[in-house]
């Protein structure tokens, strides 16, 4: 419908030109701003949704990484027939078994003590420097104590770098209360002798010696009472001599079972999150159902799910798939664990399980092509989805780029609307001037006509 501007702007119309212009500009702005705002909101939601996807997958990847190294899965429990005589600890490289040990000689150290002194800080040798001679392995070292006191002698020996320990012992005796004790590391190769004019009454308290033991009938010698090399992956701690004791090493599968159960929980939590992004709606949460038609999300979700059903890159024995250790994907997409199956393979085929999961590797990397085992393969698959140039990051980058573009277009729309508003204001001002001029002419003619009528 045409607007009668002349009538509307006539004398006494009182039209609000600013209001009219604002209304026209708002009507022109509304559909463009609404479209841009809608696209901007969609881009923001996409960035947030893929951020959730990335964080969720990284949490699942962290769990797979707890199953992709041998040391993560292979552990052992040790026990001793007499813990007061011998104890043991095992690393992931140990072998289960029973080891019979006998010890006829423990490792010992050279240890000497001397006549006591009445003071530990009193000056010795009339204040003159004292020389201490220490012989080790046929070589003699002379230590000079410039300010000779019993305490300074002990400190000089300790600081000599000769692997000797000197200490001043307070016996509490009325005379000769302070006694110097000097000892070496254990083992016959660490034997030594010590001499000094101010150190008298030398007594050898113990003699350096090596361990003399047998493990499963094999003779063992060591300079310490901790045997770390006798049996691969097993450290024996000898506490006394004995004729025969046993150390039992058994596989501990509790950790691997715990981590596999945790994997089921983490996987299913991820599935629930993905389902919420793909289905439904929630006015209080824009992310719910936001990825229902997103092709990148669909590809990521399908890759994640299907990878769990692929064969291990390092199958071993009867273990090729996750299902072989009791894990399987149900029809609803959830992951379930058959504990009886897992218990069976852990008790009968532990080494095969470890190989199939880890490829018998340590400190496994997800970068590059490699046989990684079931857990390593899944970890690498997720990394490829979440890495800096992967589909998730690319989708987030694309959405962020569009977000920036929409923000620029909204800014440009504001500027364009301001220009349009200014043009309308100018046009209405010009129209107002014309109308005012016409109103003045009309009034002039009316007045003249009235005057002519009055003259007649």
| Three-state DSSP string of 192-212 | EEEEECCECCCEEEECCECEE
pLDDT band at 412 (very low <50, low <70, confident <90, very high): confident
pLDDT band at 437 (very low <50, low <70, confident <90, very high): low
Mean confidence (pLDDT) of the chain: 88
Res. 12: pLDDT tops 50: no
The tokens for 198 are: 């101010």
pLDDT at 11: 39
% of the chain at pLDDT higher than 90: 64
Bridge partner list, 140 = 135
Average pLDDT, stretch 125-151?
Answer: 95
The tokens for 23 are: 């209304």
Average pLDDT, stretch 179-202?
Answer: 96
Res. 146: pLDDT tops 50: yes
pLDDT band at 102 (very low <50, low <70, confident <90, very high): very high
pLDDT at 110: 98
CB atoms within 10 A of CB 334: 14
Q: Of 74-88, 176-190, 410-424, which range is least confident?
A: 410-424
Range with top average pLDDT, 180-184, 226-230, 329-333, 429-433: 180-184
Q: Which residue has the higher pLDDT, 19 or 352?
A: 352
Kindly tell me the sign of the dihedral angle through the C-alpha atoms of 222, 95, 256, 53.
positive
Average pLDDT, stretch 110-126?
Answer: 96
Distance between CA 252 and CA 346 in Å, rounded? 10
Res. 421: pLDDT tops 60: yes
Distance between CA 328 and CA 336 in Å, rounded? 6
Average pLDDT, stretch 24-44?
Answer: 75
- Whether the CB-CB separation of 135 and 193 falls below 8 Å is answered with yes
pLDDT at 265: 96
Nearest Cα to Cα of residue 80 among 269, 195, 235: 235
pLDDT band at 6 (very low <50, low <70, confident <90, very high): very low
pLDDT at 432: 67
Burial class (CB in 10 A: 0-12, 13-18, 19+), 24: middle
Query: Residue 151: which H helix or E strand, with range?
Result: helix 150-158
Average pLDDT, stretch 103-115?
Answer: 97
Q: Of 206-210, 235-239, 407-411, which range is least confident?
A: 407-411
pLDDT at 263: 96
Average pLDDT, stretch 89-116?
Answer: 95
Q: Which long-range contacts (CB under 8 A, 24 or more apart) does 412-419 make?
A: 413/29, 413/32, 413/33, 413/36, 417/25, 417/28, 417/29
Phi, psi at residue 163, to the nearest 5°? 60, 40
Going by C-beta distance under 8 Å and a sequence separation of 6 or more, which residues neighbour residue 294?
46, 49, 395
pLDDT at 205: 97
Q: What is 111-206's CATH number?
A: 2.60.40
pLDDT band at 5 (very low <50, low <70, confident <90, very high): very low
pLDDT at 4: 41
Res. 444: pLDDT tops 70: no
Distance between CA 373 and CA 311 in Å, rounded? 9
Distance between CA 110 and CA 166 in Å, rounded? 12
Residue with tokens 């010696």: 209
pLDDT at 181: 98
Q: pTM of this prediction?
A: 0.69
Q: Where are the domains of the chain?
A: 34-71+254-394, 111-206
pLDDT band at 18 (very low <50, low <70, confident <90, very high): confident
pLDDT at 10: 38
pLDDT at 143: 97
Q: Which residue has the higher pLDDT, 294 or 18?
A: 294
Q: What pLDDT digit, counting tens, does each position of 77-93 carry?
A: 999 999 999 999 998 88
Distance between CA 345 and CA 420 in Å, rounded? 77
Phi, psi at residue 170, to the nearest 5°? -90, 105
pLDDT band at 144 (very low <50, low <70, confident <90, very high): very high
Q: What pLDDT digit, counting tens, does each position of 312-369 carry?
A: 999 999 999 999 999 999 988 899 999 999 999 999 999 999 999 999 999 988 888 8
Average pLDDT, stretch 123-133?
Answer: 95
Res. 289: pLDDT tops 80: yes
Distances (CA, A) of 248 to 135, 189, 211, 343: 43, 32, 21, 21
pLDDT band at 269 (very low <50, low <70, confident <90, very high): very high
pLDDT at 447: 67
């Amino acid at each position: 419908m045409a607007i009668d501007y002349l009538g509307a702007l006539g004398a006494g119309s009182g039209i609000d030109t600013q209001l009219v212009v604002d209304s026209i500009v708002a009507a022109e702005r509304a559909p463009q701003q609404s479209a841009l705002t809608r696209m901007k909101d969609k881009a923001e939601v996409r960035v947030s949704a893929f951020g959730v996807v990335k964080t969720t997958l990284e949490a699942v990847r962290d769990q797979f990484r707890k199953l992709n190294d041998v040391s993560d899965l292979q552990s052992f429990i040790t026990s001793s027939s007499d813990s007061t005589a011998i104890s043991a600890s095992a690393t992931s490289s140990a072998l289960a078994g029973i080891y019979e040990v006998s010890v006829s000689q423990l490792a010992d150290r050279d240890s000497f003590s001397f006549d006591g002194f009445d003071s530990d800080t009193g000056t010795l040798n009339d204040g003159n420097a004292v020389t201490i001679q220490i012989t080790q392995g046929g070589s003699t070292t002379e230590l000079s104590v410039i300010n000779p006191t019993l305490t300074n002698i002990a400190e000089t020996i300790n600081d000599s770098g000769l692997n000797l320990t000197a200490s001043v012992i307070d016996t509490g005796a009325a005379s000769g209360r302070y006694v110097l004790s000097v000892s070496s590391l254990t083992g016959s190769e660490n034997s030594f002798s010590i001499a000094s004019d101010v150190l008298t009454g030398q007594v050898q308290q113990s003699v350096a010696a090596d361990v003399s033991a047998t493990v499963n009938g094999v003779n063992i010698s060591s300079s310490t009472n901790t045997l770390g090399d006798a049996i691969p992956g097993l450290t024996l701690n000898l506490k006394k001599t004995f004729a025969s004791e046993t150390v039992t090493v058994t596989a501990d599968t509790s950790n691997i079972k715990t981590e596999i159960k945790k994997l089921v929980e983490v996987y299913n939590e991820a599935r629930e999150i993905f389902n919420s992004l793909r289905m439904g709606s929630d006015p209080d949460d824009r992310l719910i159902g936001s990825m229902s038609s997103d092709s990148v999300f669909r590809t990521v979700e399908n890759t994640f799910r299907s990878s769990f059903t692929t064969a291990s890159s390092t199958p071993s024995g009867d273990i090729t798939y996750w299902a072989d250790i009791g894990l399987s994907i149900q029809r609803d997409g959830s992951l379930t664990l058959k504990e009886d199956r897992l218990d069976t393979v852990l008790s009968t085929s532990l080494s095969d399980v470890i190989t199939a999961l880890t490829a018998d590797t340590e400190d496994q990397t997800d970068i590059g092509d490699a046989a990684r085992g079931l857990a390593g393969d899944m970890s690498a698959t997720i990394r490829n989805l979440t890495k800096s140039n992967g589909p998730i990051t690319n989708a987030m980058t694309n959405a962020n780029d569009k977000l920036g573009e929409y923000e620029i277009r909204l800014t440009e729309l504001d500027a364009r609307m301001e220009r349009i508003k200014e043009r309308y204001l100018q046009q209405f001002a010009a129209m107002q001037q014309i109308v005012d001029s016409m109103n003045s002419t009309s009034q002039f003619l009316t007045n003249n006509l009235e005057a002519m009528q009055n003259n007649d």
